[in-house]
Structure 1
Amino acid sequence: MREYMKFYIDGQWVYPVSPKSLDIINPATEAVAGRISLGSVADVDLAVTAARKAFEAFSRWSREQRIDLLQRILNEYQKRSVDIAHAITEEMGAPACLALHAQSSSGMMHLSAGIKVLRDFKFEEDRGLTRIVKEPIGVCGIITPWNWPIHQIACKVVPALATGCTVVLKPSEEAPLSAYIWTEIMDAAGVPAGVYNLINGTGPDVGTAICSHRDVDMVSFTGSTRAGIEVAKAAATTVKRVTQELGGKSPNIILDDADLPVAIGRGVRDVMLNSGQSCNAPTRMLVPAKKMDEAVAIAKEAAEAITIDVPTDNDTIGPVVNKTQWESIQRFIQIGIDEGATLVTGGIGRPEGFNQGFYVKPTVFSNVTNEMKIAREEIFGPVLSILAYESLDEAIRISNDTEYGLAAYVSGNDMEKARTVASQLRVGQVSINGVGDSLAPFGGYKKSGNGRESGDYGFHEYLETKAVLGFTPANATR
């Protein structure tokens, strides 16, 4: 069992001011996998004070110094990537293959991308007599979720350090074990004292204290829309910048000329990946009404081909993160049945052969309308809803008829048609025919949040813009 009872503040491992412990439950076995300490307002004060003190010097580091620091972190990360994968499997149930090749590897991806972007990023630009300068915003409070723990830590911490900011990190208390290994990596890489700090705790306690702290200049939060609203409220009194990557109910439009086995098979797998615990999962599949029967048959076969086993094996999906999440998903599946949707495969209860662990059957509903709760609310589990459309205009209308706007997917052979559909979807990112891009900006419209992550767009969130008038000519006058 892993025990991490200290926090990392000002370059030192220290005990919390008022010790209080929390057991971390392995969702596959329901046994205790680790134990951490929970922090308080007093711990937040110590971490923010350290970050504020470190900011003065670190914000003036050169580009070359920051590149060298990120490279050292990357080198240390490569030594510990397998350790991180094992921790992710224990804390949130990711299968071994997913934990290593998607979850853990995402940390290396963000570090490599951050170094690449930093080499050429323009922090200064001249416009006539004025110089536009991008400067680090200051102390950044970073609050990350449990579903992609290292991915979200890296995609926030890397641009913060790359731009000269200092950090106070609060990882999810549901999946904090990998965050400790990340912190050991930061320490081994020689990150200066106070530049990076780690505190554990709950959202209402430590999260709120970070968001409302007068010496925190910016908060980056990923989590549910409900929690994101509370983050914004807590931050409002200090008028700090808040960026949020929140919930989603992403549409997946299958065009009438799409290769159905390819497009639908990919769509089903993308929903089930990570046990359905991804905010951008394409959980609303829209298919032409005349092809509904064929589409449902393909989706059923694809879902039933997904294997479930203990997450130490390389199976497709493992358990969901905890009992609360499992029970919520079960309620949604029952709601779908009660609403009159057709249960194609899956359903309530654990999969056959599982008497423990928070495992959910890969579930597919057809004959879903967009007014049903299973089509409107984020289930955050391996549950797919298939909806019919008669025309492209109707498909676009249904896709946009949601309070969310994080991601969307379009599949079809006619690229001009696919591009036209993509241009009308009110979301932050659209993938055509399954194409991905790790450097593309990621973030949402509407209640899916604000701000963008990844690549150079992720850097801008951690920068203030200063205009220096009359900078260019040496003898400039008003």
Structure 2
Amino acid sequence: MLDKRKFYINGEWVDPAKANDLEVIDPSTEEPVAVISLGDRADTDAAVAAAKAAFPAWSRTSPSERLAHVEKILEVYQRRAPDMAWAISHEMGAPQDMSLGDQVAAGTYHITNFINAFRDFQFIRPLGEHAPNSMVAWEPVGVVGLITPWNWPMNQVTLKVIPALLAGDTCVLKPSEIAPLSSMVFAEIVDEAGLPKGVFNLVNGDGLGVGTQLSTHPDVEMISFTGSTRAGIAISKAAADSLKKVVLELGGKGANIVFADADDKAVVRGARHCFYNSGQSCNAPTRMLVERAAYDRAVETAARVASETGVATAHQPGKHIGPVVSKQQWDKIQDLIQAGIDEGARLVAGGTGLPEGVNRGYFVRPTVFADVRNDMTIASQEIFGPVLSIIPFDSEDEAVRIANDTPYGLTNYVQSQDGTRRNRVARQLRSGMVEMNGEPRGAGSAFGGVKASGRAREGGVMGLEEFMDSKAISGWDRKA
């Protein structure tokens, strides 16, 4: 079992102020794979103090110097990709191929996109032709606390750490205590890249401990959090007394609207996306809204996709899905599947219990419910497991109404060959993102939502600006 009790503070791996061990459980085997320590207030204070001391010098570095550091991080990150993939597979259950090809690759993708966006970023910009001597300056916020989840570890770490560094901020990262090993590899990468001491710090801990300590710390100017809506509300309240900037990327309950004229692969694509990462994605299209004329065929297709989706250990290669992250998560998903059955939804694939032939590990059967009403528990709550709810609709207006009838507003999806209708529906959907006909959003697009999904904008230029404050300056001498 790996001993990972140390924290990365002020450029060094240091022992915790007080022993508070926690085992990291491999969800494929239910066995411990590592032991970490949960941080104490003294550890949080030390990390924040290091970041605060490093901020004046780091914030004054030239953009080209900060860019060079991030380019070095990318170089080391790519070399350490196998180590990172191993950590992710063992801490949260992403299968080997998916861990390397998608989970680790997400970090490469975001770092590269931030580098490209930063090269053209203007830190001082004219307000406009109408005010030639008025400028807008973008400046670092200060010390930022970064709290990241377990489901896409490097996706979220790179979406926060990299723009913070490029903006000129210094930071303290608290990864999920359930899946901390990949972030500790990331800290090793940052260390090898030669970042100045104190610019990046890592303290493991839980939400009630280190998470709350960062959220309330008077020397932390900003909190960037990704996780549940419940935790995001608690962080907002905790941070209110210190009036720090709070940026939240929270849950989702995405609607995938499939019109009768959608291409033949639309339902297959949607079901696979729902089951992807064992359903543990906030932008998963977990509600499939299908036009009545195509409904029966869609139900049959989705059930077939579920039955064909393999479930197996994360320790082997292949296109299967792995376990969900923990026993607590497994229990929650089982309860919600049972709620779907009890409330009268028609179970057409999967169901409760372990998949056939499995006797250990937190594995969930890919599950499809038909004839779901939008007021059912499985349609209203974020399940975070491979569970798809299919809802019929009769008109475009009804589809939009059902899609928007949710507290969440992260990602919605539209499938139709009618471009005019696609555009019209996309504009009516209350969400931060809309993806249509399986076409991914372009590199540098901002990731984020509205309503109970939070209003963060992560990635690209908007993701850089999220970690800065703007300053309006008049009387600027354009000749100086």
The two structures have a TM-score, normalised by structure 1, of 0.98
Aligned mates of 2:259, 2:124 — CA distance in 1: 44
Aligned mates of 2:68, 2:333 — CA distance in 1: 45
Alignment of 1:2-401 (within 5 A): 2-127=2-127, 128-259=132-263, 261-313=264-316, 314-401=318-405
1:50-92 deviations in Å (ceiling 9; x for gaps): 0011010000111110111011111111110111001100000
Aligned mates of 2:87, 2:337 — CA distance in 1: 30
Aligned mates of 2:310, 2:185 — CA distance in 1: 30
SS of the residue 1:135 aligns to: strand
SS of the residue 1:129 aligns to: strand
Identity of aligned residues (%): 50
Give the residue type in structure 1 aligned to 2:473. V
SS of the residue 2:22 aligns to: strand
1:167-225 deviations in Å (ceiling 9; x for gaps): 10000000000111000000000010000000000100100000100110100000000
Counterpart of 2:459? 454
Report the aligned-residue RMSD: 1.0
SS of the residue 1:387 aligns to: strand
SS of the residue 1:150 aligns to: helix
Q: CA deviation at 1:227?
A: 0.5
Unaligned runs of 5+ in 1: none
Aligned mates of 1:382, 1:16 — CA distance in 2: 37
Q: CA deviation at 1:20?
A: 1.0
Q: CA deviation at 1:315?
A: 3.2
Aligned mates of 2:296, 2:420 — CA distance in 1: 27
SS of the residue 1:450 aligns to: coil
Counterpart of 2:449? 444
Q: Is the 8 A contact 1:130 1:472 kept in 2?
A: no
The two structures have a TM-score, normalised by structure 2, of 0.97
- Which aligned segments of 4 or more residues in structure 1 are displaced greater than 3 angstroms? none
Q: CA deviation at 1:474?
A: 7.0
Q: Is the 8 A contact 2:117 2:444 kept in 1?
A: no
1:305-356 deviations in Å (ceiling 9; x for gaps): 1111111222320000000000000000000000000000000000000000
Aligned mates of 1:457, 1:294 — CA distance in 2: 41
Aligned mates of 1:410, 1:473 — CA distance in 2: 48
SS of the residue 1:368 aligns to: coil
| Comparing 204-213 and 297-306, the one that deviates more | 297-306
Give the residue type in structure 1 aligned to 2:427. S
Give the residue type in structure 1 aligned to 2:210. V
Q: CA deviation at 1:463?
A: 0.6
Q: CA deviation at 1:290?
A: 2.5
Q: Is the 8 A contact 2:259 2:294 kept in 1?
A: no
1:35-55 deviations in Å (ceiling 9; x for gaps): 101101111111001001101
Aligned mates of 1:336, 1:473 — CA distance in 2: 65
Q: CA deviation at 1:456?
A: 0.8
| Comparing 108-117 and 389-398, the one that deviates more | 108-117
Aligned mates of 1:307, 1:165 — CA distance in 2: 43
1:155-174 deviations in Å (ceiling 9; x for gaps): 11010001111010000000
Aligned mates of 2:266, 2:292 — CA distance in 1: 16
Counterpart of 2:469? 464
Q: Is the 8 A contact 2:114 2:444 kept in 1?
A: no
User: Paired residue for 2:417, among 413, 420, 426?
Assistant: 413
1:133-176 deviations in Å (ceiling 9; x for gaps): 00011111000000001110011101000111101000000000
Give the residue type in structure 2 aligned to 1:132. V
Q: Is the 8 A contact 2:94 2:314 kept in 1?
A: yes
Q: CA deviation at 1:10?
A: 0.5
SS of the residue 2:80 aligns to: helix
Q: CA deviation at 1:412?
A: 1.2
Aligned mates of 2:477, 2:437 — CA distance in 1: 48
1:120-141 deviations in Å (ceiling 9; x for gaps): 0111112322221000111110
Q: Is the 8 A contact 1:251 1:407 kept in 2?
A: yes
Aligned mates of 1:100, 1:474 — CA distance in 2: 51
Aligned mates of 1:115, 1:295 — CA distance in 2: 42
Give the residue type in structure 2 aligned to 1:450. R
Q: Is the 8 A contact 1:308 1:315 kept in 2?
A: no
Count of residue pairs brought into register by the alignment: 474
Q: Is the 8 A contact 2:278 2:322 kept in 1?
A: yes
Q: CA 1:474/1:456 → structure 2, altered by over 3 Å: closer, same or farther?
A: closer
Aligned mates of 2:80, 2:478 — CA distance in 1: 51
Unaligned runs of 5+ in 2: none
